[in-house]
Structure 1
Amino acid sequence: MSTGSQPENTTPSAGPSVGPSSPDPEPGDAVPAESPSAPVRSRIQLTGSPGLAAEPRPSWSEILFGDFRRLQSVVGRWYLVLTLLVRLPSVVMPLSVMVYVAVASGSGSWGALCAAAIYLGHAVSTGITGLYAPWKYFQWGILVQTVLQVLTVLWLVQTLVARAHDPFGPWPWYLCLLVGAASPQLGIATRLRWPSILRHHRDQSLPALTMRHDAVMDALAMVLGALVAGVIAIMAGSLVGVMAGSGLLVISTAMLLLHPTAGLPVWGTALWVSSSKNLNRAERRRRRSRRIVRFLPVLGGGCLGLLWGSVQIGLVYFAASIDVVESIGAQFAALGLLSAISAVITAGFGIRRPWNLWILCAAASVLATMLMSVPSGPFSMLLVLAVIGAATGPTLVAVFGIVPIISPRRLTTGLSAITYVLIQVGMAAGLVLAAWLGNYGGYQTVALLPVMASTLLLATAFLFIDRRRRVALDMPASAHWAPGGDFSTSVGM
């Protein structure tokens, strides 16, 4: 990414160069390689030579859509839109089931348990996808899972309709778990496809950029999925939302399997790098310490899922107290909307030290979740959800942005997949724990769990910074600037 400045005593066609003796930047410090040296900068300021232009300030369009345009030049616009579409069913399905069961049974606990079972099933499905992803014919695995998902959704809908006539019995949470496990996680499928796309185009300078893009798509899917589920629940009923989620999954699967990138050979899905058998005790201890540091952002994703899951159940109990349970999806969209907007802006600025952003936004999340006990009406709750979304969106970008900085390139995709798994597990745990607390203390007790989850998120961030300073990491090549690349793309803000 050129800064727009040119060195002195060169012809107009000559560009900046980096000599072989230039030292590599430190892992935490981003120095644009094409920026002039300190003496040249001082001469620019003193002489004000018209031939040496100052660095142009990026426009808002470049900040908000720079990543999208750069990836569009590699893979095309429609594939980037597809990465958003394939994530919507994973949001629409659990929200629709939760609202339907909560209304039909008159118990938010049963709704939380059924939705948690779907999220837990999604985590299992992500693990299944990770197992057959390296397979040459992995598209068949996605197709088989989609067929099984349609069959299990039909079974679930039939059982839910039958149970609605006797709402006081046990609700089919086990079928919800089966539906979640049978649903192919197409968001992970697109994540696992990025290394193959970049390898096919011979462009390995964009791994962190693709992670930021996927994090933004996760945030956008949250708002659009919640909005779709809420609108369908209000206009046609939540049961229609369950079937709409299944139909959307079938469409997404067909589009993903028919896309030209589906034929690329799978590459870069390793989850573990085998170590040499001749390592001594100190080397094994250092290697174990590095693995712990690399796992902490993954754990942060789990804390973030715990926060979102507990907020959902808090919204259920709050909506039940004012008799607007059907609007849960539309209200949760307020959190997703601000989360998506803040994630897009954060990704556009390209944070070089995402761990600092993690600290700041986690602290803001603690303060924001404390406001959940304040609202007395739907409008004030929408404002609180918007504040929580504005704090958690950048956190999602930061957690995924840290992975390519501290991990070898061959591990980044696998670690991002594990992060997604823990987000799903965290959401399931948040739903169950919040519902259990709600049975004993009502909404005010449920409102404490988001505060605890955001506190854990902040504690994990502090622990990561402390361990990162103590442990020497083997920095990957993707974390260093290379001519023709962009250090901010590889490292972050």
Structure 2
Amino acid sequence: MTQDTSAPAQASTPDSTPAAPEKTAATGGRYQAIFALAGTSFFPIAFLARLPLAMLTIGALTLITEVSGSYALGGFAAGAVGIGSAVGAPLLGYLADRIGQRPVLLGTAVLNPVAIGLFLLTALLLDPSDAPFWMLAAGLVMGASTPQVGPMARVRWMAMTSRRPQGREMDTALAYEGTADELTFVLGPALVGLLAAAVAPWLPLVLAAALTLTMVTAFAVHRTVEHVVPTSRRPGISGGPDAASPAAPRERPQWLLIMVPVLGMVAMGSFFGSTQTSLTAFAGSFDMATSAGMIYAAMALSSAVAALSVAFWPERFGTAGRWVLCAAAMLAFTLLLFVPSSIGAMVVMLLILGLPVGPTMVSIFGIGAIVAPRELMGTVMTMLASGVVTGTALGSSVAGRLADSSGYSHAFIVPTCSAAALLVLSLFAVQAARKRTAA
């Protein structure tokens, strides 16, 4: 990827001073290297700041279903949040590329809690059955204003590791980010369910608003944000200082190459959504539909652990080669979903299936970093995140229809097809990586 030579010098404080890759690797391993690079405070802040993203959709579904008694209205509310996020994320990413992450994050840290408050007022003071328009509008705004912490954290890692071509810090950082995402999307819904059942269905959204206001603000002002230089501050870029001075020409985005990882994340989202929906139908056949989330967590657990392992994979695989290998394993392992006839057996199969999932996600984000121009890195990373949201909605819808009409065994066809799409796209990723390397 293109090096960010305009990144500011790193501070000399103990929390942020990076150790030399060779020395750090010798004394504490690759994960200690990224702790030294970003500072230990970055990790809890970034993790808690991304948690609301995993709580809003299921929180809206839970609240509207509870107050209206309608699963359909709850589904519409969740869909509005998802659509808002899918549309708003790339716009926020583009703004962050242009004017910087800090003002965008600080703005959404205020706007999103306000949008959550409006959604709560709409749900609790109005009857959603009589005023679905206002509920859906509030849901769209709530989703569109959700801070994109995960993608922006990845952009920071890419900027911080761009001067370290001999190290494995970027692979390690992306592996960590994949694990953080997996844990977030397991913990978030579980937290919503626990708080809604134990206290009230509105409490998860209130907690999400509080986390956004506090932790996203902390993430916005964390020292790592200084490594990402927006286009408005880069010399030689239109609109930036010294725009007339001679500098490297602005890199034209190659959208056909960029669409390869974006479509890969759509396929990944379809895999997630269809697997979760199919498992709900499978668990329902045992009168355990409410436990589907816990069953699905088995795959998320092995996926998270496998994602961490990517930092230690041999470099000869390469990012694109790793995508090919893991997508092929995913396709083979999805066939295991058709085998179990009990909950216990399904949990075992999901633990196996999760092993290539995390590394596949890490690889797709890695290809995104390779094909994205430096000045559009935030835009591309948020496009990848939007791809997951869009694919999840698509996969859930198709699998749900098949489960209703033909049973859960037919619904499992959708994650298999999603894995097949990932394998096909991985072959295009090999070509995309070669073209960018040769450019």
Contact 2:108–2:147 (8 Å) recurs in 1: yes
Q: Please, which runs of 5 or more residues in structure 2 have no aligned partner?
A: 1-21, 239-251
How far has the Cα of 1:252 moved from its partner? 1.7
String of CA shifts for 1:295-347, please: whole Å, max 9, x gaps: 31232122101111222222333444444454444333322211100100123
Aligned to 2:152: 189
> For 1:315 and 1:99, how far apart are their aligned partners in 2?
19
Aligned to 1:68, what secondary structure does the other structure show? Answer: helix
What residue number does 1:300 align with?
264
Is 1:177 matched with 2:147? no
Distance 1:129 1:170 in 2: 25
Is the contact between residue 149 and residue 182 of structure 1 (CA under 8 Å) also seen in structure 2? yes
CA contact 2:269–2:390 (8 Å) conserved in 1: yes
Which residue identity is paired with 1:301? M
Quote the sequence identity (%): 26
Question: When the two structures are aligned, how many residues end up with a matched partner?
Answer: 397
The answer as to whether partners of 2:97 and 2:375 remain within 8 angstroms in 1 is no
Distance across 2 between alignment mates of 1:93 and 1:260: 28
Contact 1:334–1:386 (8 Å) recurs in 2: yes
CA distance in 2, matches of 1:306, 1:454: 9
Greater helix percent: which structure? 2
Give the counterpart of 1:367 among 324, 332, 337. 332
Q: Give the TM-score normalised by structure 2.
A: 0.75
1:338 to 292, 302, 305: 302
Residue 79 of structure 1 pairs with residue 42 of structure 2? yes
Counterpart in the other structure of 1:223:
186
Distance 1:257 1:358, change over 3 A: closer
C-alpha deviations, 1:405-427, integer Å up to 9, x for none? 55665565543332222122212
Q: Confirm or deny: 8 A CA contact 1:116 1:429 kept in the other structure.
A: no
Whether 1:400 aligns to 2:337 is no
Partner residue in 1 for 2:312: 348
Written as runs of structure 1 = structure 2, the 5 A alignment for 1:9-408 is 66-99=29-62, 111-136=74-99, 138-161=101-124, 172-194=135-157, 197=160, 206-236=169-199, 238-262=201-225, 266-267=229-230, 291-349=255-313, 351=315, 352-405=317-370
Counterpart residue type for residue 432 of structure 1: S
1:298 is aligned with what amino acid?
A: V
Equivalent in 412, 415, 430 of residue 450 of structure 1: 415
TM-score, reference length from structure 1: 0.67
Q: Are 2:67 and 2:123, in contact at CA under 8 Å, matched by a contact in 1? A: no
Please give the alpha-carbon distance, in whole angstroms, between the structure 2 residues aligned to 1:468 and 1:137: 28
1:188 CA displacement: 2.5
Deviates more, 1:216-225 or 1:319-328: 319-328
Using the TM superposition, give the Cα deviation of residue 451 of structure 1 relative to its aligned residue in structure 2, in angstroms.
1.8
Cα contact 1:347–1:397 (8 A) shared by 2: no
1:361, 1:152 → 2: CA distance? 39
Q: 1:78 to 1:214 in 2, by over 3 A?
A: same
The verdict on how the C-alpha distance between 1:472 and 1:220 changes in structure 2, with shifts beyond 3 A counting, is: same
- Report the 3-state secondary structure (helix = DSSP H, G, I; strand = E; otherwise coil) of the residue aligned with 2:355: helix
State the SS of the aligned residue for 1:315: helix
RMSD, aligned α-carbons: 4.0
| Alpha-carbon distance between aligned partners in 1 of 2:200 and 2:334, rounded to the nearest angstrom | 30
Q: Is the contact between residue 175 and residue 311 of structure 2 (CA under 8 Å) also seen in structure 1? A: yes
- In 2, the alpha carbon distance for the partners of 1:464 and 1:196 equals 22
Structure 2: distance between partners of 1:419 and 1:118: 17
